[in-house]
Amino acid sequence: LEPMFLLPGTIFPLSLRYVWTSDSLWGARYAPDTLCMVCKNFKKGQCLQGKGNCTMEQGPGCRTRDFFLFSEKGRWNFNHTELDCYDFCMSSNYYIGDLKISSFCCKGRDFCNKYIGK
């Protein structure tokens, strides 16, 4: 559950969803949580398996990984996309035999990885 607060002069509760950073108390900054889409098998704009969401309190944020298989015709063919949260996310391409994994990261906007998958 998120804490609820009443600010002076308000008649409704305010939900705060922020994480404390290492700055001093009076010069403090707050880093908002980022909600990310999770999907184990994402194709053509649809989550086919493992749909959900996750929250990144700090760190790189939402990750999108596109999986490609190398064909006999000498081309990389898209297979599927995976969406998740990841602490050590960085944009990159990994090659493992006939498999290529392209990773992309985003943060600062809820569900920023929602429509990135192919």
Q: What is the pLDDT of residues 48-79, one digit of tens each?
A: 999 999 998 876 789 999 999 999 999 999 99
In a domain, residue 115? The reply is no
In a domain, residue 47? The reply is yes
Q: Record the tokens describing residue 26, joined without a space.
A: 């009076």
In a domain, residue 2? The reply is no
**How many residues are there in the chain?**
118
Kindly report the pTM of this predicted structure: 0.68
Query: What pLDDT sits at residue 116?
Result: 63
Task: Provide the domain limits for residue 91.
Answer: 34-106
Q: Total domain count for the chain?
A: 1
CB environment 34-55: b (16+ within 10 A), e (fewer): bbbbbbebbeeeebeeeeebbe
In a domain, residue 65? The reply is yes
